Amino acid sequence: MTDKTRKIVIEPVTRVEGHGKVTIQLDEQGEVSQARLHIVEFRGFERFIQGRPFWEVPVLVQRLCGICPVSHHLAAAKAMDGIVGVDQLTPTAEKMRRLMHYGQMFQSHSLHFFHLVSPDLLFGFDADPAIRNIIGVAQKFPELAVQGVMMRKFGQDVILATAGKKIHGTGAVPGGVNKNLSIEERDALLKEMDQMLTWSLGALKIAKDYTVEHLAELADFGSFPSSHLSLIREDGAMDLYHGQLRAIDSEGETLFDQVDYQNYVDYIAEEVKPWTYMKFPFIKQIGPEDGWYRVGPLSRMNTCDFIDTPLAETARQEFMALTKGKPNNITMAYHWARIIELLHSAEKIQELLNDPDLQGTDLMVKGDRRGESVGLIEAPRGTLFHHYKVDENDQVTMANLIVSTTNNNTPMNRAVTSVAKKYLSGTEITEGLLNRVEVAIRAYDPCLSCATHALGQMPLIVELNDAEGQQISRRTTG
């Protein structure tokens, strides 16, 4: 950075879960040289967990994030299955955990779409921020606002029935689960099922029509070719709960496939940079410079060969037809992909509710204790890694987490840089620029709370600084 360069700081990134700050770096000609998404506070959760008994971890990790507790609960439980020497759960335990996970996916994706994203899609990026929010949606499209609330509640009811509590549940324990699904719980959820499927199909139409109608604009909005990573089932099906790792490049060529995630450290490493607490994961065989990749709904759509539920598979085929079967690298296509997963989750919940294994009573298995284990899950925001070492006194001695949002760190920085280069003019943070930076970040549905492994809130400010570091304006988005 030279003395002449100027910094524009945008903070907070509203309608993104948690809080963040964006700085846009200008060169001496006043052009954007780069933009960065910052995290401004950090308290280490990975150290906090050390010394704790391993069986507490699936409950403790839910304190990592008030937004994604279920994903952390399940990833940690999967890791602790390994610690108690279990590679295969009972059918009841595996299906109860899957039901919990699809409930989490359903509530998270519906919250994101209806509350956070639909104002951009329904009103456009340039609409007055006074109406471009959920209140505006509730006034102009009241049925959509109601659907969003009811769908989120349904997902939470699924979580409640499987975890015992809406948040900080204890449903999954090392080696299994501690409850099954009663007939009453099942029937209460089944009653809502048709409505949830119908509303999911309605949301799919909004997301698809929006993407297709604005394709030219969106293809040029914060988009770039990238590699993609996800878990994949043995037969190539999308599997949000379990599988092996598959990575492809921007053209769809396989980088690695069917990798046992216990060995992820042979394939994925994390780079540290001085200006942020968020790390930068990369594929080792490519290296830190170009080995970055994307995760989440867009990547899962790109990596999988098919989806094993009929409605979502039809939707996937329409999605992939847009890019003639090649990976879709349009950042804003995350929204359409996310809604295909919303529909898939509804279909999976229905399938599981009709499965008598959920009333089974064989909940736990035990094996020989191990000292180290990794648990991965496809969380709503993307691949989530939990890695632990446990000593002979049952205490955790090492924890490493790579959360979904961290996996998307480089892509989010690229998206923001691309948007800033295109839409910044002069030294003013215009409403239009601010909106577009938010829209680009929001496509990734980042959880900044998870990404820092922080145990608390982050400050909220908007600043515009000149070459000498003097603040010349402030702007908030809330």
* Residues near Mg ion (CB under 5 A): 401
Q: Considering CB distances under 5 to 8 angstroms, the limit depending on partner class, which of Ni ion, Mg ion, none binds residue 349?
A: none
Residue with Cβ nearer Ni ion (196 or 278): 278
Q: Considering CB distances under 5 to 8 angstroms, the limit depending on partner class, which of Ni ion, Mg ion, none binds residue 67?
A: Ni ion
- Residue type present at position 396: V
Q: From CA 354, how far away is CA 350, in angstroms rounded?
A: 6
Q: Considering CB distances under 5 to 8 angstroms, the limit depending on partner class, which of Ni ion, Mg ion, none binds residue 65?
A: Ni ion
Residue with Cβ nearer Mg ion (172 or 401): 401
Geometric angle at alpha carbon 131, from 214 and 417, rounded to 5°? 50
Closest residue to bound Mg ion by CB: 401
Helices within 141-251 (DSSP H only): 142-163, 183-213, 215-219
The interface mask with Ni ion, positions 302-331, x = CB under 5 A, is ------------------------------
Give CA 10 to chain center in angstroms: 22
Q: How far is the CB of 47 from Mg ion (least distance, A)?
A: 11
The interface mask with Ni ion, positions 61-80, x = CB under 5 A, is ----x-xx------------
Q: Considering CB distances under 5 to 8 angstroms, the limit depending on partner class, which of Mg ion, Ni ion, none binds residue 417?
A: none
Residue with Cβ nearer Ni ion (227 or 449): 449
Helices within 12-141 (DSSP H only): 45-48, 57-60, 69-83, 91-110, 118-123, 134-140
DSSP 168: S
Q: How far is the CB of 234 from Ni ion (least distance, A)?
A: 29
Give the count of alpha carbons within 13 A of 459, CB side only. 5
Q: From CA 240, how far away is CA 242, in angstroms rounded?
A: 6
Spatial contact of 471 and 8, defined as CB atoms under 8 Å apart? no
Residue with Cβ nearer Mg ion (119 or 375): 375
Residue with Cβ nearer Ni ion (86 or 450): 450
Q: Considering CB distances under 5 to 8 angstroms, the limit depending on partner class, which of Ni ion, Mg ion, none binds residue 75?
A: none
Residue with Cβ nearer Mg ion (270 or 308): 270
111 interacts with Ni ion by CB under 5 A: no
Residues 6+ apart with CB under 8 A from 41: 452, 454, 456, 458, 459
From the list 117, 374, 429, 450, which residue makes contact with Ni ion (rule: CB under 5 A)? 450
Which whole-number Å values give the CA distances from 52 to 58, 61, 168, in the listed order?
Answer: 11, 11, 17
260 exposure class (CB count in 10 Å sphere: 0-12, 13-18, 19+): exposed
Residue with Cβ nearer Ni ion (276 or 449): 449
Residue with Cβ nearer Ni ion (227 or 405): 405
The residue length of the chain stands at: 478
Q: How far is the CB of 49 from Ni ion (least distance, A)?
A: 16
Q: How far is the CB of 372 from Ni ion (least distance, A)?
A: 25
Match 């969380």 to its residue by tokens.
379
Contact segment (CB under 5 A) with Ni ion among 59-67, 107-115, 212-220, 239-247 equals: 59-67
Q: Considering CB distances under 5 to 8 angstroms, the limit depending on partner class, which of Ni ion, Mg ion, none binds residue 401?
A: Mg ion
> Rule CB under 5 A: which residues touch Ni ion?
65, 67-68, 447, 449-450
